[in-house]
Amino acid sequence: MAGLSDSTPALRVRLQESTQGVVVVLGGDLDLATFGLLERAMAPLLERPDVRILEFDLADLTFMDSSGLSVLLRAVSAGKQVRLRNPSAIVRDLVTATGLSAVVEVEP
């Protein structure tokens, strides 16, 4: 399992709650090996009706593939408003290429 043998985990997840909603700060790689960590962190948020906006801070996210997309889509499907902030070029291209820009906000 990625991250278990390194001193820095392959994926870093930090949650920040505010009155506006929840900010999920991601760092590292979001892929098949690590997306479970994010899913588990987000599962309670998806259940809470008071959490309506989920903002993902992707400034430190270096990689994302379709497993990362599944986490975002799950939040959309659960009725949350999803925003992606500061995605890298690769992440932005992936989001555009899979038509996600129709259902998530990307800023910038």
Partner 1 sequence: MSRLTLHRLAVVVLVVGLLVTIALAVLSRVNYLRNEQRLVTAQTQLIGTTLAAAPLDVSRRLDSAVRVVAATQDATQFEPLLSSALAPGGRYSSVLLFTLVDGTPRLLLTVGQPPMLSATSPQASAIIDSATKSDALQVTRLVDGSNQRIGYALSASGPHGAYVGYAEQLLPTNRRLALPPGSPLRGSDYALYFGPAATPSALIATNASRLPLQGIRSTTRVPFGSSSLTLTLSPQGSLLGRFAQSVALAIAIGGTLFTVFATVLCERLVRRRTVAEELTTVSRRLYQAERSVAETLQHALLPRQLPDCPELEIAVRYLPGTDGIEVGGDWYDVVALDDRRVFFTIGDVSGRGLDAAILMGSLRTAINAYAVEGLDPGVILDKAGRLVDIALDGRFATVLCGRIDLGSGVAELANAGHPGPVLVTAGRSELVPTELGPPIGLGHSYATTRLRVAVGSTLVGYTDGLVERRGESITVGLERLRRAAGSAAGSAAGSGQSPGSVEALLDVLLADLIPQGPSDDVAVLGIRWRG
13 lies in the binding site for partner 1 (CB under 8 A): no
Residues binding partner 1: number (CB under 8 A): 24
**Three-state secondary structure call for residue 65:** coil
Site string for partner 1, 26-55 (x = CB under 8 A): -------------x------x---------
Region of 3-11, 16-24, 48-56, 73-81 interacting with partner 1 (CB under 8 A)? 73-81
Place of tokens 């999803």: 82
Region of 3-11, 16-24, 52-60, 89-97 interacting with partner 1 (CB under 8 A)? 89-97
Strand partners, 28: 11, 61
**Three-state secondary structure call for residue 40:** helix
Place of tokens 């890298």: 88
Which residues have CB under 8 Å from 5's CB, separation 6+? none
Cβ–Cβ < 8 Å for 59, 92: no
73 lies in the binding site for partner 1 (CB under 8 A): yes
Cβ–Cβ < 8 Å for 28, 34: yes
In the list 2, 13, 23, 69, the residue contacting partner 1 (rule: CB under 8 A) is 69
Binding site for partner 1 (CB under 8 A): 39, 46, 63, 65-67, 69-71, 73-74, 76-78, 89-90, 93-94, 97-100, 102-103
